[in-house]
A and B are shown apart, each in its own frame.
Chain A
């Protein structure tokens, strides 16, 4: 989600692009209309002129007609206006046209000559022309034509104007749009960065709201209000849970103490077993309450944990040693494979607790005779620990749910436990900024702990070195 957004995944960019395209289209249509209108107008001007000239020449004395035609063609050194007189056998009599154009009907109406007129002085290039042919009373044919390259030239000027206009408008427009987009895109990135801790469960964070009060700010304000409400509800739910656990612990502990005394007094009597089974049940409840409070405690810690350089491999070896007898009792081969790892910044005690929970689960849910293996290896970004078992695995649709408080898979209800082990693990993982991935192995479940210190917020001030009472100190 943090990837740089695509340049066109922005409302501004899209708007500008759509505007650009619409503008270009409109410009194109406008120019087309102008060109069409201009051409039509110029054509009609030429047509009128041609008709007038035809009328003028045709109305001269038939005897002097060839002279008039020659005179008319003589005043056209640039070959713009063509005049030709042909006899009834289509032979040229006068003028500057080689032969009678076949395609031109002799109806006295102006027609477009796509390929111009054959002329002795301009044989190389033949430009478009408009012309008309008239059958004279004596059977001769008079042809007058005017080349229309000027009209085409005007069309070209208009088209060039369109090209310039569009490029001068659209290119700076798109560029400006791109630059404009950077503002909102930068703010979106800021918002994304602000949501990172929220996504990781820190509901105390809020989105930044600028003083501009624009759409993004309004949205951010709405989200912030929602976050506030969610935080309030979450803390209420958590508070209720914790309070129940906290308040019930004291009376339950007293009850257990009384049962313990009763059991001691009943020594040997048949009721003793009954009392003991009560104590076992109370212990189960107390264990669950302890785990629940432990989760809250870890969540409340807010990264004030005691981080130090830790060798994950060493911690994993301790966990392996701790659980080896349990796996052995269950007839499970329990493999350990630790590759050389770079040290990480972590709280060794919490890391042990998390790994112990994961390994304990793997052993518990793998049937006797199955295998459990622990692997620590180096990833591209840091050490990773894989816990692979040959148990029933965790169904894909339960993988998100298992880290929730009290969640227990349908097929694990008969197994003892608080249902809080993975909640504790995920609280510890969150505290470290690590990642836990639940997947599947060839024969069962695979849980991977990625020990990438994404952001281990250290607070050296709150860090206390752990002094553990050791056996040997007892001699002092």
Chain B
């Protein structure tokens, strides 16, 4: 069971985070003060820290910078009311691993936490596998049932992101940020169309669907039987 430290001074937000992460099977501890949070994060053995940007006692940026200086490499999800791109860059530069703007949808927050947790377990494999779909990370070729698929560069990047986080719900904004590298709202439609194309290539005719739509949230790649619990 992953252990998450929640450093957040707003009680309502903190309760939301704790509840949502609890639903996703994580144990959480809540600290409301920056200085105390830094102490706990550097001593305790946490798998992840969610960190508010503006805290009493010590600024979130300073907390994450201090953690990194102390060689603590626990993934940090920065959560902030400051939405400007420059603020995001500042947060990530100080050592944050991801940046989420308040107010956030809890499912989006949970999805980002899970992706960060997944990143902690390094993939040494040269091939990613979901059911009979395989992705060769060296030759950049995907195979479905042993048959090679022709993918455009963007489709490859999209598939790689999905497969690295197989079984994990990915929101549209996470997909847009990671695959295209931009941080604005491109409208849901474009991402859906890209997913649709990839889906047509991968799930072809007569094969079981691997890319699933998670209503109200985003997408997930998983073998049909594994996906049943998440996808409606």
Residues of A that sit less than 8 Å from B by CB: 249-250, 252-254, 256-257, 260, 263-264, 267-268, 272, 276, 279, 283, 287, 290-291, 293-294, 297, 301, 304, 306, 318, 321-323, 325-326, 329, 349, 352-353, 356, 360, 417, 462, 464-471, 474-476
Contacts and interface: CB of A to CB of B under 8 A. Distances in A.
Interface stretch (B53-61, B63-71, B188-196): B188-196
Interface residues of B, number: 49
B197 A353 contact: no
Contacts of A287: 185, 187
Given A254-B16, A260-B216, A468-B177, 8 more contacts: A276-B216, A322-B180, A325-B194, A360-B190, A464-B93, A468-B181, A470-B178, A474-B119
Interface in B159-186: 160-161, 164, 177-186
Contacts of B194: 325
B186 A356 contact: yes
B122 A476 contact: yes
B186 A360 contact: yes
B93 A467 contact: yes
Q: Tell me the dominant secondary structure on chain B's binding face.
A: helix
Interface stretch (B40-48, B82-90, B143-151): B82-90
B83 A293 contact: yes
Contacts of B9: none
Report the 7 A-B pairs with minimum CB-CB distance, sorted nearest first. A253-B103, A468-B181, A464-B89, A250-B103, A325-B193, A326-B193, A353-B184
A260 B154 CA distance: 31
A318 B190 CA distance: 13
Contacts of B160: 471
B84 A297 contact: yes
Contacts of B177: 468-469
Contact of A253 (B84, B104, B216): B104
Contacts of A279: 216
Contact of A304 (B16, B86, B184): B86
B98 interface: yes
B33 interface: no
A471 B164 contact: yes
Contact of B105 (A253, A321, A356): A253
A460 to B, nearest CB: 13
Contacts of A257: 16, 105-107
B103 A254 contact: yes
B159 to A, nearest CB: 10
Contacts of B187: 287, 360, 417
Contact of B164 (A249, A252, A263, A474): A474
28 contacts: A249-B103, A253-B103, A257-B16, A257-B107, A260-B216, A260-B217, A279-B216, A287-B187, A291-B185, A297-B83, A297-B84, A301-B84, A321-B154, A322-B190, A325-B194, A352-B182, A353-B182, A360-B186, A360-B187, A417-B187, A466-B89, A467-B92, A469-B97, A469-B177, A470-B181, A471-B164, A474-B119, A474-B123
A349 B183 contact: yes
A259 B186 CA distance: 24
B232 A267 contact: yes
A322 B179 CA distance: 11
A183 B98 CA distance: 59
B24 to A, nearest CB: 12
